[in-house]
Structure formats: C-alpha cells, structure tokens
Amino acid sequence: MLKIWSMKKDQQKADNENTAAGKKKKVTAAQLRVQRDLSELSLGDTMRTEFPDPDDILSFILFIEPDEGMYRGSRFSFTFNIPPHFPHEPPKVQCREKIYHPNIDLEGKVCLNILREDWKPVLNLNAVIVGLQFLFLEPNASDPLNKEAAEDLRTNREVFKRNVRAAMSGGRVGGVTFDKTIK
Amino acid sequence: MASAQAYPSSEPERWKYLDRIRTRAGPFTNDGIFDGSMVAGQMDKMKILVIGAGGLGCEILKNLALSGFKDIHVIDMDTIDISNLNRQFLFRQADVGSSKAEVAARFVEQRVRGVRITPHNCRIQDKDEDFYMGFQLVVCGLDSIEARRWINATLVNMVDDAVEDSYTPLIDGGTEGFKGQARVVIPTITSCLECQLDMHAPRAAVPLCTLATIPRQPEHCVEWAHVIAWDQEKPFPELDKDDPAHIGWLYQKALARAHEFRISGVTYALTQGVVKNIIPAIAATNSVIAAACCNEALKISSSCAPALGYPDDNYMMYSGNDAIYTYTFKHEQKDDCPVCGNLARELDVDPAWTLGELVESLAARPAAQLRKPSVRAAGKTLYMQSPASLEAQTRPNLERTLSDLGLREGDEIGVTDPAFATVSFKFKLKFTKKS
Amino acid sequence: MTEIVANQTPPILHGPTEKEKKYDRQLRLWAASGQAALESANLLLVNSGPGVSGVEALKNLVLPGIGRFAIYDEATVGEADLGVNFFLDQSCLGKPRAQCVTSLLCELNPEVEGAWYPNAEDVTTLESTLATSPLFTAIMYALPIAKDTLALLEDYGRRNRTPLVAIHSAGFYSYFQISLPGAFPIVDTHPDETATTDLRLLQPWPELVEFASDMTKDIDNLDNYEHGHLPFVTILLHYLEKWRETHGGANPATYKEKIEFRTLVQKAARTNIPEGGEENFDEAAAAVLKTVVQPSLPSGLKKVFEHEPKKPIAEGSSFWIVAEAIKGFHAKHDCLPLRGSVPDMKAQSKVYVQLQNIYKAKARQDAAEVLETAQSIAPGRHFDAAEVELFCKNAPFVKLINATEGDESESNLGAADRLREVTAQEFASDENAELTLAPLSLLPIYLALKATSHVASASADEILADVAKTVPGANDQERVVQAAQEVARAEGGELHNIAAVTGGMVAQELIKIITKQYIPVDNTCIFDGIASRCQVLRL
C-alpha cells in the first residue's frame, strides 16, 4: 500500500512554490485526439477547411465541391463542432446551406449513421468527412430526413436530378426556395 | 491481537467502536505499514474531498463524519430539487432551491460534533490543480460520466513521480436503480476511470431518419420533439430541461406526434426521463455504495485492513435486482489509456528557440522518429502541418520564439504525427535557460 | 402501459403531482403499485447492541415513503452511540434511544408515521408492543438478541405469517437472514429487457402468418424502400417457410441448421443499392439464434409448476390458481401464453404498429383463456384480469423463493443440519477455488458472527468453542479462526460504514418483499468489508 500521508509538510511547501510559478497548462486528451485526427486528414482536391480561430481546433468549417455525381459543380459547407468528450461523443456536423437532399433536412441536420447511432471512439474525423462526401455521390432514399426529396428520388430519378439542379441554382422545389450553391 | 490495546482518540468513549478497529491490528492487517498509535492523529489532520452532494454525496458526508475524518470539503454546483428528497436525506422541503453543498455541509457539521465541513458551491472545473493538490483523498459520488472523467484526468495529471504526495487516491461510487459500483483508483499505478470507460455502455442512439420519418416507439416521438421540433420552432430561446414549461412543450409535441402515428405510451414522466436521461435512484442503493466507498476511505487512511486499489482488486460491482450479487475484481490498467497511459514526458528546451527550431528538434529526436510533427499547447495551436488552411495560419509562428509565443516552464505541449496514427505525445517543457 | 392514444385531442397538460415529483426517481423502478404497497406497510425494528444497521435500513425505507414504522429498543443513548449513529445528537444523551432515533427519522419524510417503545406510559415490554400495535408487515431485529426475545418474535412471525429479518453487524463483517413465512412467489421480477423476446416464430398463429405472408408474398419484386423496411419478424417467417419447403417440413433445429438458415437470410439481403446492405435483414440474421427456438419451460416456472402447496390449490392464493391454469395452458399448447411485446425493429411506423397489435391481441386472447381456466379451477372466486395478464406476460420469469416449507418443529432441527451440510460444501469448493478461480466462501464470517448471536461480545477462543458446537471441526479451519479473531476485534461494536452497507441491503430486500417486485435474497447474505464483497447462501 502507498504511504500516501507521510510527507504532509513537504507538500505544503511544494504547493506554495507551484502557486508562485503560476498554473501549468495541461493538454487534454480530447484536444490531443483532435490534433491527431486533423494532422492525418486527407482532403484531396474537392475539400478544404477553414478555422475561424486557429487556436480553437474544435470548431471549423468544411467545404465540399463534388466533382462527380448529381451534386457536381456546387460548393457545400458544413460546420464541425467537436464536443469536449470527443471521441466518446461524435462531432456535431451541420450543413450551412439550405439544400435539396434526401439525407439532409432544411435546417441542415445530416442523417449519417456514424454521426449518431453508429459512432465509435475508434472512428476519426476522416471517416466523417468521407461519409459526407459519399452522401453527395450516392444520396440514399431509404433513410430519409427530407421525405419529399427521398420520395422524388425513389419514384423518378430524372425528376430528382432536375430538382437537384434547380435547387442548387437557388430555385424552388416543392414550394421551398433553396440556397444557391452553384459556383 | 484482540486483546491489544486500542489507541483512543481525543474523545475515547464516543469513538470507541471505531478506535477498536482502526487502531488495532486484526488477522488481515498488514503489520508492515500499520501503526495503530498514529492513526487517530493522522486522520484528524487529513483533508478529504467529497465531490457531489447528491444521493451518494449526502451518504458519503455522513459516513466520513462517522469514520473519524475531521476536515471534509464538499463541492457541488447544484441546487436542491423536490425530486431529490426521496433519497438525499440531508435536505428538507424548505431547502428546495438552496445550494446542495452548503445545506449538506451545515447539516452534518451540526449533527456530528468536531467535524468541519467546507462547502464549495461551484463546478469542479472552477477549481484548479492547487485546490485538488490540497487533499489526501477524493471520494466521488457523481451521476455524470463527464465530471468523473474530468476529475480522473485532473488527479492523474497531478502525479509527479518525484513527489509521493502527488498521488491522490480517488474513490468513486455510482448507482442506477438497485445496481451500483464502488472502485478505487491510485492514479497512474492502477487502472483509472478512463481505462474503465467501457464498463458503462452508452445509451444507444436512434437514427435521425427514424425520428424524422418512421417513428415506432414513444421514445422516438419524444426524441423527435427534442431534437427536431424544438429546433424548427424554438418555442423558448434555450432549452432548460428543468423548466416544466419546456418539458411540457416537448410532451405536447411528442404526444401529438404519437397520436399521428398511432403510437402509445408517451407520458410526461417518459418525456422527462428521455430528455433529461433520468436514471432511477433510491436511498437503499446509495446507502450501500456510498458506505462501500467510505469503508475503503477508512481502510486506506488507517491501513487497519487491506483496501481495494493496489495491488489486487480495485472494483466492486453490485447488483440487487436478482437477490444480491457482487463481483469484486481487478480491472487492469490499459496501456493505451489516453489519460493514464499517456503521461507528459519532460522536454528540455531553450525559451529563446524559435518554434521552428523546436519542431526540428522533435523531428530529430531518435526515440520518437517523428517526420512531420504538429504541435499544440493547451488552448493554443502552435504549428499544424495539416490541414492546409491551418498550416497557412500557423506558419508564421515558426519564426517566433517560445517565450514570445507565451510558453512557460511546466506548460504541456501535444505532438502528433501522421507517421504515428495511433500515438500522440505529450511533453512538459523544461527551460534549460531562464527567460 | 395504458393506451392514451384513443381518438381524442391531446389532453390539457397536467404535469406530475408534488408527490409524483418527490418520488419520481423510485416510481421509475417500482411504479405506482409498488409505491402503494410501501405506503401501506408497517415495519418493526427490534434493536439492541449499537443497533446502527437497523436504523440505517429504516432511513432507507422512511425516505421512499414506507407507511409506518416502530422501533423497540430498551437502550438509553450513550456517548458511544453518538460516534456511530447519525440519527442521534448531543441533546439525546441519556434519553431513550428508540425515542430519539424515531424523532430524527421522522424528520426525513413528513408522510411517514413513527412509533417507539418501550414508552413510559402504557407499552413497556416487547410483548405488549406486539400485542397492541397494528399488524406488522415485516420485522427486523438486530443481533445479538436474548433468546426469549427471539422466541417472541418467531412466534409472532409464525402466527401472523410475518417475514423476519435478522441483522448482525460487527466490525468489518455483517450478515442478514430473511425468514419468510412460506413459499414466496414473485411475478413482477423485472427481467432484463434483452431476455424477454418471445416472438413465437416456430408456432405462429393464423393472424401473424397471414400478416407476414401478405407482406412477403412478392418479396423479390418489392421496391428497395419496401424491401428495406420489411420488419424482421416477417422476413424470418417468410424464410422459415422457404426452409421448410426444402427440409421436409421441418424447422431449423440444430445449431448447424440455424447457422445455415442465418446464411440463407443474410444472402437474401439486397446489396446493389446505395447503402450497400439492408438493416432489416441484418436485424433478422442477428435474431435467428435467439428467436428461432422451440419454447422450453424456464427453471423458475418449472419450480412453480412442481411446487405442492399444503392447502388444496383452489383454497390458496390466486397466485397458485393462476399458476395451475398456466400449467394447463402449457400442457395444451406446448407453449406459454404470449408475452405480447415486440422489440423495436426497422419498419415503417404503420406496419410496426400493426405488428404490435397482432401480438397484443394474441397475448390478450391467451390471457383470457388462462383466466377462464382459473375460474373453472376455483368457481366463484373473483380474479383481477389485469393480474392474470401480468402473470401471463411474466410467466417465463416468475420466481419462487423459499420453496421448501416444512413443518416448524422439523425446520429448527433442519436448520442445524443444513448449516453443517452447507459448511461441508463450501469448504469443499474452497479447496478447488484456485482451479475454478471462484472467490473463497464467506461462510466463516457467518459462523463467527452466529457464535455471538446471544452475547454482547466474545473472545476468539469463545467464538471458536461455540462454532465447534454448531459445526464440529469448522473451528480448526484457518479462515474460521481468522474470522473469529476479526469478530473479536470489534468486541460487538459496529462500524458506521458496514452498518450503512448492511442497512442499505436490508432496505432493498424489504422493498422487494413488500412490493413483491424484483427477486429477494433466499435467504442469507454475508458481507465482508475487508474484501468488499457479498455472498448469498441458503441456510
């Protein structure tokens, strides 16, 4: 067993010295983990990040410009907010534009399994970013967040494609005006 | 043995039951470390910290006061709610709305003569390392995993292997319904709470699209109201989960949605339970777990009997659903624990170095073999090699000196490198020249 | 759960009452029915020695709102009480301990009524306490206790069928022992959610078969959305049908066949779709081993079926009649009444609710059949339909505690024999503990404490001499010697922590017994505060 209580007086002294020297700044496990995730991010040509405050690596913006698929030619952006309990909680990701997509609702909420029910601490930011990219390549009608868009995709792919183009140009689909995302 | 003399404390008649045990060796006492003549005097002077003045905290304060501890501090930021009264026995109807720490401290101080209890009505994060360094033992009765992880990391990070007293044992209790656990952590020496995180399965989340389009359970309706409807309609500026008007709004929304999908079972209690993630709690279980924790505190402080912690068992699981079952075992420390498996190493640096020189020196360290190190300090990004935008933003720092960047002796830096996808390094700066 | 969904506009918001708010955290465990049982209970604590464990148990029962309690304690508050009992203070010195503790316990919950004895007025003995008090629901007594006092309590217990709980705590050790007045069945055992799935896939009834075949009749031509939202129950029923077509009408029975069947299900999932796979088929495959099973009779219920009460069933409590009716149901249908709950699964809302209703309807039908049988067993008796439904729903998890109810004169002799028998078993299994990695028996603690059942304290040698009388030879065992020394160290004193652990456990047990929910200890629980663990033994 530890003899933990034996050196009380010495400790008081040491305490005082530490106080005089000011507080030591410690790196938290979450911050270090995000740092690691960021330093191994592979964004390619179609994505880039923007950090409003470089000292705060827990919040940033990701820009995606799909170069294939139905959403080609547009630029979408997502805010990333990483909770202090990362990686035990997933990052919070929200689309900044109002877009027409079966898996993204009009408030920008994203239905991606690894952002919620299937998140695991072993996953990293790269996995999330790959997941987002995939949503633009293969929008999924089976697990919709925007029911109308999903219905269009299921019943008539051509109509859906036209709607995507219209929405990306800032047009109206089904009574909703979308944000212009075409570059 | 049993005939040996007890070493009485200042009030021998009052504490005779306790003194018989804590000052006399028994058949299991380790004579090598036990000195009965010292126990009462040492415990009189010990400073012990109780984190949480809720269901477990009230019990812990009572138990410690009756275990011979005289200088107890308690920290809790919460105020008393009516739903606390079925188990938090230091509080009365008239105390609703007052600070838990203050009411609990005052009550126990008045009941047990000679005990001093100092309340801290604040968040644990509001106190710094110096505060926590002042205690020889910390006993936790919290309901939040986040707070546990914070205090665990703080106590582990406090360890300085040259200073024996920097090892502050952490005793942690937790309950849920008829179940609970009591465990002891000797920071860096035994498995820490972070090593044990997988013992608590997180609540399974429901896919967002299920909530949005195909709800099936009453919980799905409540979650929909909470996650989707609230954001769309923003009935109040910010959700206050303790405000009945807010919970009432969510309940109405959930009920209407359940009605639409013909789902039964949405109630006010369910709504509150889901939104606040309420864990059932009763006095009986708190009594068992808090006392098991304080029993370890007494054994650790007096060495009058072997305690949980080191070298063997450190964890007691308790379940009262089906008869009573305990499982007491040794939870092994994890080598790759992000808290106790990754302690900061000392790094000799010259404060007059530029950051660029520091990065180069890291890359040149044979032990680490870093190729493209990225470096951050607490709350400050020094230099990141990636992503590109952050690299560009932090590149100018490479020309600045360490002292210029605000780094000080003892500060920690975190170093990562894509060559080591699974490891990251922490260094504690040691200045070779005083700046 | 009551169905509030009926065709009505949502009711006007009525939040919880003050009482529901105060008891919210426990109502989530034992519901209003459990709370009502607690509130009508009347407990007695007969205290002696330091007597802290029993007081801690009462604290844990007053807080959740037990109806009434009484303390019988002849002690006067002394200085040493103030160092170990939280429900006393400086001003109590020299006063009756029962009075002071009762008054401070009552502060904890204004809804609870407390009484204390002996009082200076009319009730001065335990006998008169027992004679003049409203009937006690359960009695706790602290050890050590005088033999004649114990005899009084045992007699009261026998006459009134009152459960007794003996509590003994000294130093780091304690145990408590529950004596129930007879076989004690529990219906509402609160099994783990994961254990409760009963989908009756191998004995589906016509409505379920029709629903499933309707959904899957054109399974290969369903569009991706519909295919991806078939509830897994219908998927499994469909492929079981297919399986039987190629296996001479037999269901997959062996482990190997079930694995084959699981592969068949997995392969039926569509993969050439954006998601790359189908969640509902994953759920179906994952459920094969757990739900494609022939129903078997769980051991707890088997014990109930085999139990032979002393009285003819029709004259006994409704429990035994309903049990008999369920036994008949099982014999007739080769399965238990349907539980009626459906786990959450990927499906469209409407389809899921339909499936839920099919299961609920069948469960109601089964329960109605059981009710009818019960009425034919005991004509003229009234049965609460809700009670029968609950029994049917929980049938696989019903538990019988204290199953052997012998004749009383025999049971005393039996207890001594039984202790010797259990001691031999425990010591034998300790010899293999190193191989089996099982923790060592805590029986030595019980033996050492039991030796001081009727004396305030004793030396290690005196304890061992007494052990030698009860269980000859046990006194030579090293662990018994150590336990005796540890008990002797306490000299009959309690440690507050051990009293609080013990009082917490005793309170849990009394809550379980009073509410008839969850499963009580059968019948002795020993706590070792040095190793920090418990052991339950039937002694």
Question: Tell me, what's the pLDDT at A29?
Answer: 83
Q: How far is the C-alpha of C288 from the C-alpha of C262, rounded, in Å? A: 6
Question: Tell me, what's the pLDDT at B342?
Answer: 81
Contacting residues of A for B342, CB less than 8 Å apart: 29, 32
Per-residue confidence at C12, pLDDT binned at 50, 70, 90? low
Distance from CA of A125 to the nearest CA of C (A): 20
For residues B46 and B69, is the Cβ–Cβ distance under 8 A? Answer: yes
Handedness of CA C81, C84, C89, C90 (dihedral sign): positive
Q: Is residue A54 part of a domain?
A: yes
- B416 touching A (Cβ < 8 Å): yes
Query: What are the two backbone dihedrals, phi and then psi, of residue A60, each rounded to the nearest 5 degrees?
Result: -155, 175
Q: Tens of pLDDT along A74-119?
A: 999 999 999 988 888 899 999 999 999 999 999 999 999 999 988 9
pLDDT for residue A154 is more than 50: yes
Q: How far is the C-alpha of C461 from the C-alpha of C465, rounded, in Å? A: 6
pTM confidence score: 0.90
Catalytic residue among B140, B192, B209, B304: B209
Contacts of C203 (CB under 8 A, 6+ apart): C295, C333, C334, C335
Q: Is residue B171 part of a domain?
A: yes
Q: What is the Cα gyration radius of chain B?
A: 26
B165 and B296 fall within a common domain: yes
Four-CA torsion B274, B280, B286, B292, nearest 10 degrees: -80
Q: What is the Cα gyration radius of chain A?
A: 23
Q: How far is the C-alpha of B16 from the C-alpha of C302, rounded, in Å? A: 52
Mean pLDDT of the C125-129 span: 96
Per-residue confidence at B82, pLDDT binned at 50, 70, 90? very high
Q: Is residue A48 part of a domain?
A: yes
SS3 state at B119: strand
B212 and B351 fall within a common domain: no
Least CA distance to B168: which residue of chain A? A4
Question: Tell me, what's the pLDDT at B160?
Answer: 82
B67 and B170 fall within a common domain: yes
Range of the domain at A48: 28-171
pLDDT higher at C434 or C95: C95
Nearest-CB residue to C86 (from B66, B267, B278) = B66
**CB-facing half-sphere around the CA of B334: CA atoms within 13 A:** 12
Question: Tell me, what's the pLDDT at C10?
Answer: 46
Q: What is the largest CA-CA distance in chain B?
A: 77
Evaluate whether ipTM surpasses 0.85.
yes
B58 and B142 fall within a common domain: yes
Q: Are A23 and B130 in contact (CB < 8 Å)?
A: yes
Q: Are A154 and C228 in contact (CB < 8 Å)?
A: no
Q: Tens of pLDDT along C480-505?
A: 999 999 999 999 999 999 999 999 99
Q: Are A142 and C223 in contact (CB < 8 Å)?
A: no
Question: Tell me, what's the pLDDT at B226?
Answer: 96
Q: Is residue A183 part of a domain?
A: no
Q: Are B424 and A107 in contact (CB < 8 Å)?
A: no
Domain with residue B376: its CATH number is 3.10.290.20
User: Tokens 């009516």 identify what position?
Assistant: B82
Question: Tell me, what's the pLDDT at C413?
Answer: 58
Question: Tell me, what's the pLDDT at A8?
Answer: 34
Q: Is A95 labeled as catalytic in the residue annotation?
A: no
Distance from CA of C166 to the nearest CA of A (A): 36
Contacting residues of A for B303, CB less than 8 Å apart: 1
Q: Is residue B142 part of a domain?
A: yes
Omega within 30 of 0 (cis) for the link into B218 = no
Range of the domain at B263: 208-275
Per-residue confidence at C262, pLDDT binned at 50, 70, 90? very high
Nearest-CB residue to B232 (from A10, A14, A107) = A107
Question: Tell me, what's the pLDDT at B422?
Answer: 67
Average pLDDT, chain C: 92
User: Which of A97, A93, A84, A63 lies closest to B388 in space, CA to CA?
Assistant: A63
pLDDT higher at A49 or C197: A49
Question: Tell me, what's the pLDDT at B31?
Answer: 87
Q: Tens of pLDDT along B282-334?
A: 999 999 999 999 999 999 999 999 999 988 999 999 999 999 999 999 999 98
Q: Is residue B35 part of a domain?
A: no
Chains near C with 3+ CB pairs less than 8 A apart are A, B
Mean pLDDT of the B398-413 span: 92
Contacts of C312 (CB under 8 A, 6+ apart): none
Q: Tens of pLDDT along A16-56?
A: 444 434 456 788 888 899 999 998 888 989 999 999 999 99
B192 and B316 fall within a common domain: yes
Mean pLDDT of the C16-24 span: 91
Least CA distance to C348: which residue of chain B? B214
Question: Tell me, what's the pLDDT at A25?
Answer: 76
Domain with residue B254: its CATH number is 1.10.10.520
Contacts of C214 (CB under 8 A, 6+ apart): none
Domain with residue A102: its CATH number is 3.10.110.10
Q: Tens of pLDDT along B384-395?
A: 998 999 999 999
**Lowest mean pLDDT across A13-17, B351-355, C287-291:** A13-17
Q: How far is the C-alpha of B160 from the C-alpha of B309, rounded, in Å? A: 19
pLDDT for residue B253 is more than 50: yes
Q: Is residue A99 part of a domain?
A: yes
pLDDT for residue C443 is more than 60: yes
B189 and B212 fall within a common domain: no
Question: Tell me, what's the pLDDT at C274?
Answer: 80
User: Which of C174, C158, C178 lies closest to C166 in space, CA to CA?
Assistant: C178
Q: Is residue B335 part of a domain?
A: no
pLDDT for residue C462 is more than 80: yes
Question: Tell me, what's the pLDDT at C7?
Answer: 44
Q: How far is the C-alpha of C324 from the C-alpha of C304, rounded, in Å? A: 9
B358 and B373 fall within a common domain: yes
AA identity, residue B196: Q
B70 and B159 fall within a common domain: yes
Question: Tell me, what's the pLDDT at A24?
Answer: 67
pLDDT for residue A139 is more than 90: yes
pLDDT for residue A2 is more than 50: no
For residues B67 and B86, is the Cβ–Cβ distance under 8 A? Answer: no
B91 and B181 fall within a common domain: yes
Query: What are the two backbone dihedrals, phi and then psi, of residue A89, each rounded to the nearest 5 degrees?
Result: -125, 150
For residues B194 and B150, is the Cβ–Cβ distance under 8 A? Answer: no
pLDDT for residue C125 is more than 90: yes
Per-residue confidence at B343, pLDDT binned at 50, 70, 90? confident
Q: Tens of pLDDT along C230-257?
A: 999 999 999 999 999 999 999 999 999 9
Question: Tell me, what's the pLDDT at A19?
Answer: 41
Omega within 30 of 0 (cis) for the link into C118 = yes
- C272 touching A (Cβ < 8 Å): no
Q: Tens of pLDDT along B138-191?
A: 999 998 888 998 999 999 988 887 788 889 999 999 999 999 999 999 999 999
Per-residue confidence at B5, pLDDT binned at 50, 70, 90? confident
Mean pLDDT of the B107-135 span: 95
Per-residue confidence at C273, pLDDT binned at 50, 70, 90? confident
Domain endpoint, select from B231, B252, B275:
B275
B392 and B244 fall within a common domain: no
- C530 touching A (Cβ < 8 Å): no
Average pLDDT, chain B: 92
For residues C80 and C88, is the Cβ–Cβ distance under 8 A? Answer: no
**Structurally, how many domains does chain A consist of?**
1
Question: Tell me, what's the pLDDT at C177?
Answer: 98
B193 and B216 fall within a common domain: no
Question: Tell me, what's the pLDDT at C412?
Answer: 54
pLDDT for residue C6 is more than 60: no
Q: Are B16 and C493 in contact (CB < 8 Å)?
A: yes
Question: Tell me, what's the pLDDT at A66?
Answer: 95
Q: Tens of pLDDT along C387-422?
A: 999 999 999 999 999 877 544 444 555 888 999 999
- B181 touching A (Cβ < 8 Å): no
Question: Tell me, what's the pLDDT at C2?
Answer: 42
**Structurally, how many domains does chain B consist of?**
3
Mean pLDDT of the C100-124 span: 94
- C273 touching A (Cβ < 8 Å): yes
User: Which of B324, B328, B304, B325 lies closest to B314 in space, CA to CA?
Assistant: B328
Nearest-CB residue to C225 (from A138, A139, A141) = A141
Q: Is residue B116 part of a domain?
A: yes
Per-residue confidence at B279, pLDDT binned at 50, 70, 90? very high
B128 and B183 fall within a common domain: yes
Q: Show the domains of chain C with their CATH numbers.
A: 18-182+495-537 (3.40.50.720), 199-291 (no CATH), 299-401 (no CATH), 414-489 (no CATH)
Question: Tell me, what's the pLDDT at B368?
Answer: 62
CA angle C295, C296, C300 (to 5 degrees): 130
**CB-facing half-sphere around the CA of C71: CA atoms within 13 A:** 31
Q: Are A40 and B421 in contact (CB < 8 Å)?
A: yes
